[in-house]
Structure 1
Amino acid sequence: MLEKDNLQNADGQEDTIKNEVSENPVENSESEVEISSTSTTEGESIENVADSELAENTLANDDNDLGGEVEEMQVDDNTSQVDTASANDDNDDDSDESEDDDEEHEETDLDHVGSIAAANAEDSEDETNAERHEIEEIDYHALSLEQLVKEFENLVASRKIQTIRKPVNEIKSEFNQKYKALYEEKKEEFVNEGGNEIDFYFQSDIKNSFNVVYRDYKGKLNTYHKELERNLNANLENRLHIIEEIKGLINVEENINTTYKHFKDLQEQWRHAGPIPRNHYNDVWNTYHHHVEIFYDFLHLNRDLRDMDFKHNLEEKRKVIKRAEELGEIGDINLAFRELQLLHKIWKEELGPVDREYRDEIWEQFSAATKVIHDKRQDYLNNLEQAFEDNLVVKKDIIAKIEAIAKKDIKNHNGWQQGIKEIEALREAFFTAGRVPRANNQECWNEFKAAVRSFNRAKNAYYKGLKKDQFDNLQKKLDLIKIAEDNKDSTDFETVTPLMKNIQNQWKDIGHVPRKDSNKVWKQFKSACNYYFDRLHDKQREADKELYDAFDKKNELLKKLKSFELTEDIQKDKKKVQEIIDAWKSIGHVPNNKRFIEGKFNKVLDGIFKKLKIDSSKAEMIKYENKLESLSNPDDTRALDNERSFIRKKIDEIKSEINQLENNLMFFSDTNSDNPLVQEVHKNIAKQKEVLETWKQKLVKIKDMY
């Protein structure tokens, strides 16, 4: 059977890993933060705060809602098993991926401060954001199924489990699409070969490997979420305890300096207390800042300490502003944006208030530096969108080329094999072309699948018809085998030999048979034919024993000539070579199918003549005499007649060439001049005359043979 196909369809397998994990606020914490960006000035007050003098310690975007208790993630080990009976559920897996795709674009509707607040809010329950950014972005669309599984394994083995959700979702999406394509291709082949669709079953080792890695990932993620929940609640308890201690400072009867030092220690503990559950975030932060401001009101009794704190905070905030302005000059906009996030976090969570007279001024400076980076990032994202649009144009062009190939009227196996190679190259180009706008992604993918499916259906239809032809060809070849085997022992060589040659020619014209039978029938046919022709050759050798003996003798002389070594006595060497030549001539004719030995003999002579420095014309005549000996046959002079006609024709051609050269000399005024062109013509004439003389000598030799 001819190999039907080495091309994967571009459709997806109707099989999927079903994610039955209940919706989990912790898992989605990176994108479900509610951001309020309605206020961007630092000095606005916080609700229920009695004294607004120090309200800048919470930027207007402090009211991020990080709500949502951490729920325990339940993972069913069976949820990732392949279920070929429900293969149409593939799209169910992508519900948790949509929020990750183009996540950088979701903040474009916010102002420059709101975008920073939104980015920081994503990290409010997770301190591994920096590591998440360090993960190299890979175009998973360009990877094969095996490469996707390998990349998945590397991520799970080498990265913190909470940092890889986005690449895992991308890998899962690409794997499902490509596996679905493989599944549908195998099913279509099964049906085209006569199978019933309801009986189709396909299970791949690569799918099993993916499921194993996916279960490992979900198990580790579940463990991480449980541990995270415990840590968040512990941090919450710690922060509430710190607030209670700050509240108690107001009523402590001790030296104000001691109280202030205790307050600074509590602030330092607060900075390192770690993340807390979202649903407590706003209340806890507002409560903390409220009691911090009450404490600063209490410090009115000692303005020196408060002014010293204000001064320190002002100096630190100016350093932050300077660094933010420097970030606006670096080329790596993503790096600048991530560091700007950190600066906003420091400004908001670590640095306290400044004197009211500087408050608006430094906030406006910081906001202006933030806007520079924000605007650059917006330009970068816009350019990225344009790149996606360009990729879409490239992929549309690839789809058009696939459709054009699918519409070709291909009539033979070689044509289809060429088409398969072209489609495979276009598939590879499609997968490596890069991302397209999200709004066009599914449509582009569907068009690609449809185009490749159209080609595959036409290809499969051709090979389905070809199978029938191959079985017909098999029967024809079996008939020829029977003829060959029935006649291989025949002694009527005159009648059977043309028959055997005829069926060999018929065999060549029949065409392909099923691959599983190809070698078997060829060996049968070849064996029968070889058996007959070996018998024929043995009989011919027996009839032409004298000729074959002559061949054996010439073969021995050829070996002797090949091993001939020159001495310092050239004349003696020439004599020995001539003796070998004379012996060669005396042996006589060889079978027609062995006359190639004459050419081998002359070729060896050429090498020896060059070493002996024998005149080329003389050497040519010696070799020619050997040739004439092989052509001579008293009973049939046709070979000599043909050779004589050939030499006469060559003589006429050379004479015509000499005449042409002599005519060319007439175009020069002085045919005896030193003009290089004139000299070159004279050389050619002399050379042609030498060649003419050699051919005339050959003609004389032929005449002597009659």
Structure 2
Amino acid sequence: MSENDNLQDADGKNEVEIKDPTLKEESTLEVENTSEDKAKEIVESESVSTEDTSSEKTSEAEIDTVSETNTSKEDKHVDEIEAENAEDAEDESNVERHEVEEKDYHAMSMQDLATELNRLLKHHKIQTISKQVNQIKAEFNAKFSQLLEEKKEEFVNDGGNEIDFYYTNDTKKLFNQLYKDYKLSISSYYKEREQNLKQNLENRLAIIEEIKGLLNVEENINTTYKHFKELQEKWRNAGPIPRDKYNNAWNTYHHHVERFYDFLHLNNDLRDMDFKHNYEQKLKIIERAEELAQSDSINHSFRELQVLHKMWKEELGPVAKEHRETIWERFSNATKTIHDKRQAYYADLDKAYEKNLEKKEDLISQIQAIAEDTANSHGAWQKKIKQIETLREAFFNAGKVPLKVNEATWAKFKDAVRTFNRGKNKFYKGLKKDQYENLQKKKELIKIAEENKDSEDFEVVTPLMKKIQNDWKKIGHVPRRDSDKIWKQFKAACNHYFDRMHAERKAENQHLYDAFDKKVKLLEDIKTMVLSGDNKADVETLKTKVADWKAIGHVPQSKRYIDGKFYKAIDDAFDKLKMDKSKLDMVKFESKLENLANNDNDTRLLDNEQNFIRKKIGEVQSEITQLENNLQFFSNVDSDNPLVKDVHKNIANHKKELETWKNKLSKLRGMYS
């Protein structure tokens, strides 16, 4: 069974029921598709019209003068529906055109723009993407022009003649080819469409002529009627025609169909059956329109109303004269209700869009302010770039603006962003110039390093190599592509020189490095040494280790840190001895003196140590004096009092500590001799 087998034919058998399209299982009305094919899924009617005794040839001029009987009382709410359907009649891809996504082409790279153009060409009808293609082309050309300027400047800076400059790249070649493909395809499409529209119009005019010619045919009425039905089917399948001819072509067609029925003496039962069928189907359309008028889904209702009007006009013929004005008035009223609700809906949208416009204008002003603000550092520009990204994101999330200012607002936004980008590019172009100069300076230092890396005159060249290393640090950034390369080159030359110098000096001072190796071994022995438990024997062992350490002698200047590690290890070993604290302090102090005496700067270090001990002696004597003064407050207190006993104990401890410090001072004085 075909998709139209369930529709009523001329006998009155079978008829379709127009149900609520929101009920998936029962619906025979697809509201998302306003094409003629979908309308045929709803109802295929047999038009019943009045007679026509004229047989003159129908012309386009005639089409422009004929009006449709049913729409004699049309208002602007019906005109709006007719205009939409006329546009669909010329371009069957009209619905798809509004579904092509528009993206932020300004934020895309040239490669991304080429990829997006390729995607549009592959996945959308060529006639639906002209707006997107034009925007992509404008953005690509702007970005390539900027790149071209940079390449030209580099070419000139490298010594090239501006006249000889030429540049392109694979992305540009790809984009040019894609755009060429688009131009060829769109040109071919419009040429073919123009021919098709013209041919379809001629076919429809010929069909009208044939309908007019039926009035003069002398044959059986049933045969004539069958021929008439065939012509109606041919009309439905004749294809789109120019939109400016659409309404009048249909009006002319209906005019002659009505005259065919009115003036040709058809069987009254057959005519009445068609009238009845058309009346019943139009009532169903009216009822559905009245349901839609109560719906809150404005756009949904309007799209389905388009389908209903198309069915009314294109698929159903006239009804009995006594019903014509009544049912049209009822359908027109439902249409007006939906139209008025849609107008109110868009009025509310306009208010929301006006608020969105205010937001976007404010965001554009912020972008303009940032673009006008001058910055002269990389960090400041990076901060501004992040601010612009945040504002751009807010702009795209701010919602739609009124259609009349949409293009102007978008252009103003892009201009503000472009102004910012020009300032940013100007800064980084100047930065690149500075980096190029820095590159030349660093290359000069590399030349000096490489010329002197094999020099044997260490006394003269070493200060020079250290100077160019400091100069290198003071020079600013160079282009990123050269940074690693020149650094490795400079570092290699410097390392080559200093490695040679250190190797020679190490050979001259090999005995110092040998001493260092011995001290490393002795240090490990101290760290792993296990005490015997005999304090006297362990003290002697530790003193022997200290004597061995001194006997090894000096180490290289850069390795003298090992002495500190050794004496710390000795102190840690002494701390493990179970000895009287004062005696242990003296033993450790003697070890410390050994370390001081082993240092080339012993006099200065001994002086510092003597000053430290004298200071400690003074502090302890002051503590003892203070404690003795405190005892005077306890003159009337028994000597067994805990507080008095505690003071006497502290005085004794401090005197013992004082004695230790005095012994240290005496030992230290002996070191001077």
Which of the five TM-score ranges fits, normalised by the shorter chain?
A: 0.5 to 0.7
| Aligned-pair CA distance for 1:315 | 1.7
Q: Which residue of 1 aligns with 2:335?
A: 366
2: distance between equivalents of 1:58 and 1:585? 124
| Aligned-pair CA distance for 1:394 | 1.7
2: distance between equivalents of 1:695 and 1:307? 133
Give runs of aligned pairs for residues 613-692 of structure 1, distance below 5 A: 630-633=595-598, 636-639=602-605, 641-642=607-608
**178-187 or 192-201, larger mean C-alpha shift:** 192-201
Q: Which residue of 1 aligns with 2:296?
A: 329
Output one character per residue of 1:550-569: Cα deviation in whole Å (capped at 9) or x when no partner.
334146548x85xx9x9xxx
2: distance between equivalents of 1:365 and 1:625? 114
Would you say the 8 A contact 2:453–2:496 is kept in 1?
Answer: no
Residues 251 and 653 (structure 1 numbering): CA distance in 2 closer, same or farther, change over 3 Å?
A: farther
Residues 583 and 223 (structure 1 numbering): CA distance in 2 closer, same or farther, change over 3 Å?
A: farther
Q: Which residue of 1 aligns with 2:171?
A: 206
Residues 151 and 473 (structure 1 numbering): CA distance in 2 closer, same or farther, change over 3 Å?
A: closer
Would you say the 8 A contact 2:286–2:334 is kept in 1?
Answer: no
- The one-letter code sitting in structure 1 at the alignment partner of 2:183 is K
Would you say the 8 A contact 1:476–1:510 is kept in 2?
Answer: no
Are residues 1:533 and 2:499 paired? Answer: no
2: distance between equivalents of 1:696 and 1:334? 104
Q: Which residue of 2 aligns with 1:523?
A: 492
Are residues 1:594 and 2:556 paired? Answer: no
Q: Which residue of 2 aligns with 1:21?
A: none
| Aligned-pair CA distance for 1:288 | 0.7
**Which residue of the other structure, out of 132, 136, 139, is the alignment partner of 1:171?**
136
3-state DSSP of counterpart to 1:274: coil
**Which residue of the other structure, out of 405, 408, 418, is the alignment partner of 2:379?**
418
2: distance between equivalents of 1:374 and 1:346? 23
Q: Which residue of 2 aligns with 1:76?
A: none
3-state DSSP of counterpart to 2:408: helix
Q: Which residue of 1 aligns with 2:629?
A: none
Are residues 1:395 and 2:364 paired? Answer: yes
Are residues 1:311 and 2:279 paired? Answer: yes
Residues 287 and 337 (structure 1 numbering): CA distance in 2 closer, same or farther, change over 3 Å?
A: closer
Percent sequence identity is 40
Q: Which runs of 5 or more residues in structure 1 are unaligned?
A: 1-46, 62-110, 658-689
1: distance between equivalents of 2:520 and 2:619? 39
Are residues 1:56 and 2:70 paired? Answer: yes
| Aligned-pair CA distance for 1:126 | 2.3
Residues 162 and 506 (structure 1 numbering): CA distance in 2 closer, same or farther, change over 3 Å?
A: closer
Residues 153 and 522 (structure 1 numbering): CA distance in 2 closer, same or farther, change over 3 Å?
A: same
Output one character per residue of 1:333-380: Cα deviation in whole Å (capped at 9) or x when no partner.
665554444344334333444512332232122122122123323543
**Which residue of the other structure, out of 286, 301, 313, is the alignment partner of 1:348?**
313
1: distance between equivalents of 2:222 and 2:570? 117
3-state DSSP of counterpart to 2:521: helix
TM-score normalised by the chain length of structure 2: 0.64
2: distance between equivalents of 1:121 and 1:653? 109
Residues 280 and 314 (structure 1 numbering): CA distance in 2 closer, same or farther, change over 3 Å?
A: closer
Output one character per residue of 1:103-133: Cα deviation in whole Å (capped at 9) or x when no partner.
xxxxxxxx55444443333322222233333
Q: Which residue of 2 aligns with 1:151?
A: 116
2: distance between equivalents of 1:638 and 1:202? 73
Would you say the 8 A contact 2:105–2:135 is kept in 1?
Answer: yes
- The one-letter code sitting in structure 2 at the alignment partner of 1:118 is A
1: distance between equivalents of 2:340 and 2:174? 47
| Aligned-pair CA distance for 1:294 | 0.9
Are residues 1:127 and 2:95 paired? Answer: no
Residues 527 and 236 (structure 1 numbering): CA distance in 2 closer, same or farther, change over 3 Å?
A: same
3-state DSSP of counterpart to 2:90: coil
Q: Which residue of 1 aligns with 2:10?
A: none
Q: Which residue of 1 aligns with 2:51?
A: none
3-state DSSP of counterpart to 2:166: coil
| Aligned-pair CA distance for 1:168 | 2.2
| Aligned-pair CA distance for 1:203 | 1.2
Are residues 1:404 and 2:373 paired? Answer: yes
1: distance between equivalents of 2:72 and 2:150? 59
Would you say the 8 A contact 1:313–1:353 is kept in 2?
Answer: no
| Aligned-pair CA distance for 1:329 | 1.1
Output one character per residue of 1:600-645: Cα deviation in whole Å (capped at 9) or x when no partner.
78999999999x9x99x99x98999987765552762534554676
2: distance between equivalents of 1:641 and 1:349? 117
3-state DSSP of counterpart to 2:509: helix
Q: Which residue of 2 aligns with 1:276?
A: 241
**266-275 or 438-447, larger mean C-alpha shift:** 438-447
Residues 147 and 384 (structure 1 numbering): CA distance in 2 closer, same or farther, change over 3 Å?
A: farther
Residues 48 and 234 (structure 1 numbering): CA distance in 2 closer, same or farther, change over 3 Å?
A: closer
**432-441 or 365-374, larger mean C-alpha shift:** 432-441
Number of aligned residue pairs: give it: 548
Q: Which residue of 1 aligns with 2:148?
A: 183
Output one character per residue of 1:391-437: Cα deviation in whole Å (capped at 9) or x when no partner.
343233223212212xx4x4xxxx3x334534544665576544974
1: distance between equivalents of 2:572 and 2:184? 81
**Which residue of the other structure, out of 254, 260, 263, is the alignment partner of 1:295?**
260
Q: Which residue of 2 aligns with 1:136?
A: 101
1: distance between equivalents of 2:176 and 2:135? 15
Would you say the 8 A contact 1:477–1:507 is kept in 2?
Answer: no
Supply the RMSD in Å over aligned alpha carbons: 5.4
Residues 142 and 607 (structure 1 numbering): CA distance in 2 closer, same or farther, change over 3 Å?
A: farther
Residues 213 and 695 (structure 1 numbering): CA distance in 2 closer, same or farther, change over 3 Å?
A: farther
3-state DSSP of counterpart to 1:130: helix
- The one-letter code sitting in structure 1 at the alignment partner of 2:382 is K
- The one-letter code sitting in structure 1 at the alignment partner of 2:365 is K
2: distance between equivalents of 1:118 and 1:398? 41
Would you say the 8 A contact 1:598–1:627 is kept in 2?
Answer: no
Would you say the 8 A contact 1:192–1:464 is kept in 2?
Answer: no
Would you say the 8 A contact 2:506–2:513 is kept in 1?
Answer: no
Q: Which runs of 5 or more residues in structure 2 are unaligned?
A: 1-60, 624-652
Are residues 1:285 and 2:250 paired? Answer: yes
| Aligned-pair CA distance for 1:314 | 3.0
Would you say the 8 A contact 2:442–2:475 is kept in 1?
Answer: yes
Would you say the 8 A contact 2:446–2:490 is kept in 1?
Answer: yes
Residues 351 and 548 (structure 1 numbering): CA distance in 2 closer, same or farther, change over 3 Å?
A: same
1: distance between equivalents of 2:157 and 2:567? 62
Residues 630 and 443 (structure 1 numbering): CA distance in 2 closer, same or farther, change over 3 Å?
A: same
Output one character per residue of 1:211-235: Cα deviation in whole Å (capped at 9) or x when no partner.
1222233344345445545654564
**Which residue of the other structure, out of 225, 238, 247, is the alignment partner of 2:212?**
247
Find the structure with the greater CA-based Rg: 2
- The one-letter code sitting in structure 2 at the alignment partner of 1:168 is V
Would you say the 8 A contact 1:162–1:224 is kept in 2?
Answer: yes
3-state DSSP of counterpart to 1:393: helix
